[in-house]
Structures are given as structure tokens and as C-alpha cells.
Amino acid sequence: MALVLLSAKSMTRSGIRAVTMRQVVVVGLVCLLISISSGFLAGMAVGQRIAPLEPEVAQVVTPDPVHEKFAFSKLGEMAGRLIKLEADARSMVKKMTALESLEKRLTEIQAFKGVPPAKALPGGANSGGQYYPARTCPGVEALGTGKAGEEAVDATESQINCLRRLINRMETAATQRRAALLSLPTRQPVAANRMGSSFGNRSDPFTGQIAFHSGLDFSADTGTPIHAAGGGKVSFAGWVSELGNVVEIDHGNGLVSRYAHCSRLVVKQGEVVTPGMLIAEVGSTGRSTGPHLHFEVVRNGMFVDPVQYLSLDPQVAGI
């Protein structure tokens, strides 16, 4: 997630700059720490200035002990909230870093084997424009300027609340990105460890001639449960000549997974499935030499090696 800043000069072409949410959180935490520290020190300084005054003057400027106690209590409470907020921010930055790493790996997969990556904008290597400080929360630049008493308490509490909202936005964005990644077909569809034919050219088991194999074969006994490799919607469940009983799941964004030669179908067309959900059972229907699952992944109408997605499972499971 990034915040967009306007640039006053044309050197940037698009006239915008992006500041990552991680940078915003770090800046916010630093400002809040300065604010709390300065508020506390300012309060101590006020107390020291009052002590030496003559009794008649002191009677005029002596702070209300109730308000003073409230202010110190409030600052202590906010310090505790800030510690919790910092821990939440660190945890969120860690999650976002893991998501970005996984999405980078996914981008590499999508660019593999002739699938063209998105075109880069011209001149993307150069940047410029007038500098503007990143905007985090309203008034954050005023923190740590020597405010004391209730004014410092109010300003600090406002910034803590604002930073909490920023972290909540990050959590929402992370949840949305995680949901999108869970739709990818990254889970092994059967528990069997016996692998048959892999993706690519092979000797056809019926003709003996070299032929292209469009997926992965998992050897398993008839009736072995088949689970959805990722979340999505069942776009087809039925009979297809050579594939026999087959389930097809649409994962969105042009990505489809297929499960062929099934002995029994558990789901129907139109059903929404979640990752790991039971969808069928292993069989030997269609053009098959024996019980096994033929697993395919199709991206934008082109067959791709399912291993590319299955290899992401440890990362997806860890987010």
C-alpha cells in the first residue's frame, strides 16, 4: 500500500510520488515518541519554574492538582498505548513485507515461459520534482514543538488515534491481499506422494510417441480425496471425453485449475469452494491407464506448469 504525493514540477512525468505505508508508520511512531517525551519534560519544567516563586505569586500560578494528576495519568496511559501500537506496527510491517515478497515471486511466475510481463512506463528509471514532506496525520508536523499540559496531551492522543487508523487501514489492505493470494492454486490437491508424469513432453502411454502432457499426474488409489488447490468458483463439473469426470475451478484473473479422471464428483457447477475443500475423488475415468489425478493449471488460456504455483504453498501458508 502507498500514499500518493503531488509533485509541482514536470520532471516526474506523471507528477506523483508514492510513499509506502511502512514509511508512514515509522515517521508517525518517531513523531509520537518525540511528542510524549517533550510533553513530559515540558510539564516537569513548568513544575520547576513554579517552585521558587514567592507565596503570593505561587498562589496565582499553582496548577490545579486534579488537572496535573489527570495529565500525568493520561500521558502514562498513552505511553502504554504507544508501546502496544509500536508492536502492532512492527507486526504489520512484517506481514506486509512477507506479502510483498510473495507477490514479487508471483510476478516472476507470471512472466515465465513466454507470458509477457506488464510494460514498464517510459522514463521510469529517472525521477525528480520539488520535495514535499510525506503527509501522515493532520498536524503531525506540530508535534514535539514544546506544547505542555492538556494541550500536549490532546495533541498526542490525537496522533495516537490517527496512527491507529493508519495501522487499521494496513490490516484491511493486508487481509484483502491475503484473500487474493489464497485463491491461487498453491495447495497439493491430493495427499499422495507418488508423482506420475510431469508437465511437458513425454512418451504417450497409449501410442508410445512423444506428446505434450498438460499437467501433473498424482498416483493414488481410487476414492482418494481430491481437494481444491485454491479458492474460487466451480466453472465446470462433469464429463469431458479424454479427461473423464473433471472439475474445473475459476480462481479469477484468468487463472483456472482442473482435476481430471475422477471417480466421483462432490461439487457442482456454480459452487464456491475454499482452499483445501473436498471436491472429488480419484479415479481412472476417460483416457487413463489406472487410478490417478491429472491436475492442470491454465492461465489466460495457456497451460502452465502447476509446480510453479504448488511451490508457493509454504509462503502462502505463512502469511
Q: Residues 31, 162: one domain? A: yes
Which structural domain range is residue 208 located in? Answer: 200-317
The per-residue pLDDT for 248 is 97
Last residue of a domain, one of 153, 182, 211: 182
Number of domains in the chain: 2
Query: Taking the C-alpha atoms of 166, 169, 174 and 180 in order, what is their torsion angle to the nearest 10 degrees?
Result: -160
CATH code where residue 296 lies: 2.70.70.10
Max alpha carbon distance in the chain (Å)? Answer: 110
Per-residue pLDDT in tens (0 to 9) along the chain, 319 residues:
443 333 333 333 333 333 444 555 555 555 555 555 555 555 545 544 444 444 444 455 566 666 666 666 777 777 777 788 878 878 777 777 777 777 777 777 766 553 333 333 333 344 445 555 555 565 544 445 555 556 666 777 777 788 788 888 878 877 777 777 888 999 999 986 688 888 888 888 888 888 889 899 999 999 999 999 999 999 999 999 899 999 999 999 899 999 999 999 999 999 999 999 999 999 999 999 999 999 999 999 999 999 999 988 777 666 6
The per-residue pLDDT for 27 is 53
Residue positions counted in the chain: 319
Residue 167 lies in a domain: yes
The per-residue pLDDT for 293 is 96
The per-residue pLDDT for 71 is 66
Last residue of a domain, one of 148, 182, 216: 182
The per-residue pLDDT for 65 is 64
Residue 298 lies in a domain: yes
Q: Residues 133, 246: one domain? A: no
The per-residue pLDDT for 97 is 78
Containing 143, the helix (H) or strand (E) segment is none
Last residue of a domain, one of 182, 213, 234: 182
The per-residue pLDDT for 10 is 35
Residue 64 lies in a domain: yes
Residue 193 lies in a domain: no
The per-residue pLDDT for 30 is 52
Q: Residues 178, 204: one domain? A: no
Residue 208 lies in a domain: yes
Asked if 295 and 189 touch (Cβ cutoff 8 Å), the reply is: yes
The per-residue pLDDT for 135 is 53
Q: Residues 243, 166: one domain? A: no
The per-residue pLDDT for 113 is 54
The per-residue pLDDT for 86 is 78
Q: Residues 255, 292: one domain? A: yes
Residue 68 lies in a domain: yes
Q: Which residues contact 28 (CB under 8 A, 6 or more apart)?
A: 136, 137, 140, 159, 162, 163, 166
The per-residue pLDDT for 66 is 61
Q: Residues 157, 32: one domain? A: yes
Residue 188 lies in a domain: no
The per-residue pLDDT for 181 is 80
Matching residue, cell 520534482: 129
Q: Residues 232, 176: one domain? A: no
Q: Residues 38, 135: one domain? A: yes
Q: Residues 165, 206: one domain? A: no
Q: Residues 11, 124: one domain? A: yes
